[in-house]
Structure 1
Amino acid sequence: MRFDLITLFPEMFAAIRDQGVSGRAHQRGLWSLHAWNPRDFTQDVHRTVDDRPFGGGPGMVMMAEPLAQAVQAVRLSRREAGADEADQPAPVVLLSPAGRTHRQAQARRWAASTGAILVCGRYEGIDQRFIDRYVDLEVSLGDFVLSGGELGAMVLIDSIVRLLPGVLHDAESAEQDSFNPALTGLLDSPHYTRPETWNGTSAPDILLSGHHSRIAAWRRQQSLTLTATRRPDLIEQARRSGDLSVQDESILKAVPPSAGEGE
């Protein structure tokens, strides 16, 4: 898997390339990262990549041509490296508030791909003509705005890389994550570890019992209750998908009606 980043701040990506789970996976060659600075594709002495918006208004807009040249260079590099076929180029993805919200299911699909070209915007935005011509997909992390697409791109990459085979020490770890099919898209249950008693509070007895079927039932009950309390929308989504059993519904009936209200 290969990710190409078109960014004015390539040095920011050292964190995800060199640290933690993604860093270890990068060192092992399970994925690769290549950063491309649009300033390297400018023609003027000032290496200009932005200008004032037509029609007036605050801020600056990233120019289309440097970004287009960068995309073309990336595509050529990927083909030469054997990452892409000429007729199946990697998608060009823009981190954007107008994009579809990134979900765990999307991360799982991307984990089976060869990667993507991620465009990290800055300033007030990007010339729409570049977006219309080159961008295949716009992705959002939620209803908030960052100073640029770099942090969003790192979050996106991490959510995908950790799902690659061999990245996590225990493959079941990812299966038990919140939002995953093993939990029917619900939130994970609470977790506890040693010591058994900490600051006068003990871990639940059921988790110390060694009775695996009862532990599994307890975790499902906790998952359902937590999801109904914090993310009732996920409960409704699971119902529409037919993922809740009669026993699940019985557990949910015991959750106070007011628990899922509010934000």
Structure 2
Amino acid sequence: MKIDLSGRTALVTGSTQGIGEAIARHLAAAGARVGVNGRSAKSVSSAVANLAAALGDDPAGDLVAVDADVTTDNGVRRVLELLPDVDILVNNLGIFGPRPALEISDEEWRRYFDTNVLTGIRLTRAYLPGMMRRGWGRVQYIASDSAVVIPTEMIHYGMSKTALLAVSRGFAKGAAGSGVTVNSVLAGPTHTAGVEDFVYQLVDRDLPWDEAQREFMKRHRPQSLLQRLIEPAEIANLVVYLSSPLASATTGGAVRVDGGYIDAILP
């Protein structure tokens, strides 16, 4: 399949590293103009430079630096100034971290909901009407296997990702018949710098990475059929497909790229 996103503008929140960076790189490689987002101008400019180098001297799609804290109203206003309209919105920004269930404070519950859920809602509310008027658009929420298999060590994170499934389904209904699709992506355990830190919180820090990864999957994610962490590019491949005209009949779904982690025929 050839995916050509030339002429489309995308925004990927939280895209200076990890899964978001991989998504931005793959969308640009498919020809899209991509807004690279992070909280600081320094981190965003560095990410844009690294992405441009990875894409080569003549990248297929342009890169736009979008330095803004999208968890705030002022940050969203800045995003809209830099990118008044987008065709593809990928709500990737999210936080995670282990915490015993009975030690999660009200403040932390709110912080996870505000960051992982409300930020995507706010941006969807800003961009979806324009997509619907133009008769084409793609909205995606990067969820997680944790939306379905709630992890005992971070139920507040699982809660936020479960909420995204409801949010994406609801907005898909709101966009019915408009030519705009809205989906969530159920990403499985993925190899990022942040996840490396998380893994070492749960296994022996003296273990080499390959051994630590295997021990983590064995002890904490034993149901994975892949039996390894997923690479960010593997998540990005699905996002690019869902962003394309080829996925025109896929909407209102929770699409899995979880390495077989979720032990169910349906999510």
TM-score, length of structure 1 as denominator length: 0.31
Q: Which has the higher contact order (CA 8 A, sep 6+)?
A: 2
TM-score, length of structure 2 as denominator length: 0.31
